[in-house]
Amino acid sequence: MVWFIRPARADDVDALLVLAGQTGGGFTNLPPDREALARRIGWSCESFAREGALPQDELYMLLMEEAETGRIGGSAMIFSRLGGEWPFYTYKLATVNQTSKELGRNITMEVLHLTNDFNGAAEVGGLFLLPELRAEGLGRLLARSRYLFMARHRARFPTRVVAELRGWHDAEGNSPFWDGLGRKFFEMPFQEADRFNSLHGNQFIADLMPKYPIYTALLPEEARAVIGKPHDTGVPALKLLEKEGFIYEGYVDIFDGGPTVFGYIDNIRTVRQSRALPVADAALPEGGAVTSLLAKGTLQDFRAWQSSAAETAQGLSLTASETELHGLHAGETISHVAA
Q: Is the pLDDT of residue 79 over 80?
A: yes
Confidence grade of residue 297 (pLDDT, cut at 50, 70, 90): very high
> Other C-beta atoms within 10 Å of 18: how many?
12
200 among known catalytic residues: no
Q: What percent of the chain has pLDDT over 70?
A: 97
- The pLDDT assigned to 97 comes to 86
- The pLDDT assigned to 25 comes to 59
What 8-state DSSP symbol labels residue 230?
A: B
Q: Is the pLDDT of residue 104 over 80?
A: no
Q: Is the pLDDT of residue 230 over 90?
A: yes
- The pLDDT assigned to 134 comes to 82
Predicted TM-score of the model (pTM)? 0.91
Q: Letter for the amino acid at 55?
A: P
- The pLDDT assigned to 26 comes to 58
Instruction: State mean pLDDT over 180-189.
Output: 85
Sign of CA dihedral 275, 279, 283, 289: positive
Return the SS3 of 307: strand
23-57 pLDDT per residue, tens: 865 577 888 889 989 999 999 999 999 987 788 88
Instruction: State mean pLDDT over 141-145.
Output: 95
Instruction: State mean pLDDT over 100-120.
Output: 88
> Other C-beta atoms within 10 Å of 208: how many?
10
Between CA 165 and CA 227 the distance in angstroms is 12
- Comparing 75 with 185, the larger pLDDT belongs to 75
Q: Considering the candidates 169, 231, 326, 336, report the single residue annotated as catalytic.
A: 231
Instruction: State mean pLDDT over 63-74.
Output: 95
Confidence grade of residue 322 (pLDDT, cut at 50, 70, 90): confident
Among residues 59, 30, 122, 88, the alpha carbon closest in space to that of 205 is found at: 88
- The pLDDT assigned to 201 comes to 67
- The pLDDT assigned to 108 comes to 87
